[in-house]
Structure 1
Amino acid sequence: MASAAAAGDGGTLVVGSYQEPTVYDPNHQYSWETYRVDRHIYESLLAEDLSKPAAKGPPDLVPALAESWQVSDDATTFTFHLRRNVKFHDGTDFDAHAVEFNVRRFHDPAFEFYDVKANAFMKAVYGDLKSFEVLDSHTIRYTFNHPFRDFLRMLPQGNYVSGIFSPQALKRYGQDGLAQHATGTGPFRLVTRVHGEKTELARNDQYWGTRAHVERVVFRPITDDATRLAALQAGEIDILTRTPADAVATLTGSGYSVPESAGAGLLYLGWNFRNRFAQQLPVRQAIIQAIDREGLAKTLFKGHALAAYSILNPGNTAFDPKQRDYAYDPEAARRLLAGAGFKDGDIRFTIATDEANQPSIEWIQRDLAKVGIHVDILSQEWLTYTSNLPKLAPEVALTSMEWGFVTPLWVRIVYQGYVVSRGGAELVGLELKEAVETASREVDESKAIAAWQHANGLLQQQAATVPLVSFTRYFTTSAKVRGFNVPAQNWYDLSRVSLSA
């Protein structure tokens, strides 16, 4: 049962989000702005200690719906002992059979409530799952075909989400209805969602853990930077997401907190290898050499971002600042293009982006023009943009994304999601594929990190992605917000936050 709230607790916390969330179904959702909401509704077997400051490194894994666990020496078998006396928001019991229902939904085609869409979303984590067993009412076991050292770290991640929902809710509302009636075990419960306007959560006073401080949390999607900033300054929101870089100095001088952090994410470009220019290594290398990433970080982001030369972001456990791809050198880029037989104006393609990242793409457009490459920009609002990513037109050579993980398994996710699925596996070579598989199955942590760094080096040699920047001033809080921590992760814990009078 939840502990009592401290004196003075209460009130409504308002968060200004920079994107419209997707859906509040843990097996259907994607995007950080979605997970920043529904991680407070749904919980996984493990959680992360999001009270750990970013400067102290990735958050530690801590018990959540599982009180303890054991991992076999070969990292193929994971046994979890579940927390007792936990209720879903609808009053039904959380136990081993509830977890079994969740797993069978996305893994067992013979299950009555199997969902093809959920299977597609969850395959990156559970595609190699050999078996799931209920050992007793509060003990479960996952067994994988191959070693999967990163499984525990993947459980509380914001994509391929392993949050546990109420089986009764899915039975009642259906596969697509669960998102409108999100029912988990977390410190907050869903009250309402109005697309384009707000998502409102209420404190779960029957929560098994420490009761949240605030009574309600409202997430308001405000996609325009200036409008979102004005809402903060007018006192309409308490926490601002993705702080406009040119406002940091003004905000810090006006009583707001804009904490510095090196998170788990970065802004980068992914290739569409079905584009004829993206298929050529000299062109990919030249494009990277033509982009002034230091200038992008210092000018467009006013120094509140770090130039990125690796897809392994600073918050990743395998990050090595010495691993760098191709340095900024427009003259070398011109020589590469000429050597490949291209003259000024011969190369023309489209970069697709969401609206939030359009200014960065416009910067890149100007840089590439300097080496004779013409870029058209296709900019769309987030939900439209992401829905179109699986069906890219051949004239689109690059797409923007803001993503990243603290685990080096991120390299495999990038390889599968931005190389293999986009037609680039043969182009970048068998050596990279084998390096990713070797690193994925390594059990020893130090050996695994070395293996991931090797795979990352091959990824860099092939110019298989275009890292741009990682942000260092992402959130802003008003003076009345207490207890908000920015961890070395892409989300936060609002159950620890309170509001002063």
Structure 2
Amino acid sequence: MKLHKLLVLSAGIGLSMLCLATLARAAEKQEVVVDLVNEPSTLDPQLQWNPDSYFVYRNIFDNLVTRDNDGKIVPQIAIAWKNLSDTEIVFTLRDDVRFHDGSPLTAADVAFSINRIIDPKFASPQRTQFGKIVKAAVTGDHEVTLTLKAASPALLAALANLSIVPEHVVEKVGNAAFNLQPVGSGPYRFLTWDKGVSVRLARNDNYWGTKGPFATAVFRTVPDASTRLADVQSGAVDVARALTSDQAAQLQGSPNAKALPVLTERLAYVRINPNKPPFDNPQLRQALAHAIDKEGITQGLLGGLDKPLGQMLTPAHFGWSDNIKPLPYDPDKAKSLIAAAGKPPKFQFTIGAFFDQRVAEAIQQELQDVGFDVEIAKVDTPTFLQLIQKGPADGPTLAISTSSCACQDADGALYSLFHSGSSWTIVARPEIDALLDEAASSLDEKRRLADYEKVGDFIATDIPTVPLYQMVAIYGAAKALDFQPTPNESFFLNRMQWKE
């Protein structure tokens, strides 16, 4: 009898201890911690577009429309839309959304947000995505109508990237102050930004949609990939961004963490300035293209997860063509082209802190092996973004970068890099502008595909860029975190959850 009571007591104590341990774990999980590579360049969602900024501010703001985890465009602030004509589209808006300061999100805020991002004076680097929009006007209590310059088949894909900001806050505090203390309507609200260290968010308990599972979220700046790996292995963080394939392999068998790779619509490429020596000589651009071993880089350095590309689109984009033939890897041909052109002068190869330095160093070595004299110039991410927006005449001689419009359409992917009206453009060629303009406004899919193929042929023969590979995004995550990475690199805290 005494033994029975002792066993019951022991079982009760054990159950209590288990419950306490479970409660302790639940309490620990009230905060999610994310290791980014770099500090966000901005928290104003209508300024710079890069993953370390996007991962944070996309949780603070809602967009007019969004994409689900399968990439389908679905309603968000807009619940319905219809075309009145090829150049007018009307959006019906939710009536139950409030900003984090308690004020209602109105049709005026939506119109203000659209008109703000297309305003040349605001100078948003994202403006070219919305270049077809002439104006947005309030046409009802919960209705906004967009007027376009011409038909825009990729409009909804672009609007999936447009966040709604509160007119009254922006107008009161100004753009600079708004960037430092953003106010949105999203599932998380801004708390603090400790520059160079972290950004802290808190759950919006009054959110109209699916609420976040975490009471708070911390996004830390951790440039060193080995540190990010160690953080997720030890359980110090719950998500680590931008791991390498070698680091992903190290997570196999880890008791605390897992690797989550996904092939994205982002691509890596080399930007060439055809207006500066030595690449004002077409032969030397050809030599550069022949010198780069894409297969060797993706297999030897990147673990075979990233896929070599011969064009400035991925198979995930509308506009991809199987007919474009890039120059093959041929170092002997590169050497003969350099010999014919004469020894080129020394130049810098500019790389931002966000890019995999192993790849840049491998390309540097390949260029030196065929006769180029090149040195790497590494800069921080904001500086890099400024440098590549200097235009075709003044941009870096050679740079390596990544590109993603998160729109899965060639309009967003090609227009920003090859149209003279874009601040990101690499070239200024009237015939390419004409093709991109026609494709952007045509409702004929065959015509659009034909135009984009011509642009792809131009890139393959004139070589303003060398496409490298379709990029895989590799996240390290806590084993208990249910998180589904997507090809468009969305990172929504309210789509995650803990699982036991």
TM-score range, shorter chain: 0.7 to 0.9
CA distance, structure 1, for counterparts of residue 385 and residue 125 of structure 2: 14
Give the structure 1 partner of residue 351 of structure 2: 353
What is the deviation of 1:130?
A: 2.6
Q: Structure 1 residues 254, 421: CA separation in 2 closer, same or farther (over 3 Å shift)?
A: closer
2:82 is the alignment partner of 1:84: no
Give the structure 2 partner of residue 250 of structure 1: 250
RMSD value, Cα? 2.4
User: Which one is further off, 465-474 or 416-425?
Assistant: 416-425
Q: How many residues are matched?
A: 468
User: Which one is further off, 322-331 or 196-205?
Assistant: 322-331
What is the deviation of 1:359?
A: 2.0
2:140 is the alignment partner of 1:136: yes
User: Which one is further off, 183-192 or 395-404?
Assistant: 395-404
Q: Structure 1 residues 390, 175: CA separation in 2 closer, same or farther (over 3 Å shift)?
A: same
Give the structure 2 partner of residue 67 of structure 1: 79
Q: Check conservation: 1:258, 1:473, Cα contact below 8 A.
A: no
Deviations 1:409-451 (A, max 9, x none): 111112037998667325xxx4433222221121133442343
Deviations 1:68-123 (A, max 9, x none): 0012553x222100011111111111111112232343456xxxxxx82x244343
Give the structure 2 partner of residue 293 of structure 1: 294
Calculate percent identity across the aligned residue pairs.
26
What pairs up with 1:16-415 in 2 under 5 angstroms? 16-49=35-68, 51-52=69-70, 59-72=71-84, 74=86, 76-107=87-118, 116=121, 118-157=122-161, 162-255=162-255, 256-339=257-340, 341-343=341-343, 346-355=344-353, 356-391=355-390, 396-405=396-405, 406-409=408-411, 410-415=413-418
What pairs up with 1:438-453 in 2 under 5 angstroms? 438-453=438-453
User: Which one is further off, 397-406 or 319-328?
Assistant: 319-328
Letter in 2 for 1:44: N
Q: Check conservation: 2:268, 2:468, Cα contact below 8 A.
A: yes
CA distance, structure 1, for counterparts of residue 409 and residue 318 of structure 2: 6
Q: Structure 1 residues 239, 391: CA separation in 2 closer, same or farther (over 3 Å shift)?
A: same
- Normalising by structure 1, we get a TM-score of 0.87
What pairs up with 1:411-430 in 2 under 5 angstroms? 411-416=414-419, 424-426=427-429, 430=430
What is the deviation of 1:468?
A: 1.5
Q: Check conservation: 2:418, 2:426, Cα contact below 8 A.
A: no
CA distance, structure 2, for counterparts of residue 61 and residue 98 of structure 1: 21
What is the deviation of 1:470?
A: 2.3
Letter in 1 for 2:368: A
- Report SS of the residue matched to 2:346: strand
User: Which one is further off, 60-69 or 36-45?
Assistant: 36-45
- Report SS of the residue matched to 2:485: coil
- Normalising by structure 2, we get a TM-score of 0.87
CA distance, structure 2, for counterparts of residue 264 and residue 122 of structure 1: 17
Q: Structure 1 residues 372, 420: CA separation in 2 closer, same or farther (over 3 Å shift)?
A: farther
Deviations 1:360-411 (A, max 9, x none): 1111111011111111110022223323334599794211212223111111
Deviations 1:53-74 (A, max 9, x none): xxxxxx0100000000012553
Letter in 2 for 1:89: H
Q: Structure 1 residues 131, 420: CA separation in 2 closer, same or farther (over 3 Å shift)?
A: closer
Larger radius of gyration: 2
* Unaligned residue ranges in structure 2 (runs of 5+): 1-25
What pairs up with 1:457-496 in 2 under 5 angstroms? 457-482=457-482, 484-496=483-495
Q: Check conservation: 1:271, 1:419, Cα contact below 8 A.
A: no
Q: Structure 1 residues 198, 96: CA separation in 2 closer, same or farther (over 3 Å shift)?
A: same
Q: Check conservation: 1:325, 1:463, Cα contact below 8 A.
A: no
CA distance, structure 1, for counterparts of residue 448 and residue 390 of structure 2: 34
CA distance, structure 2, for counterparts of residue 18 and residue 461 of structure 1: 35
Letter in 2 for 1:140: V
* Unaligned residue ranges in structure 1 (runs of 5+): 1-7, 53-58, 109-114
Q: Structure 1 residues 280, 492: CA separation in 2 closer, same or farther (over 3 Å shift)?
A: same
What is the deviation of 1:136?
A: 0.8
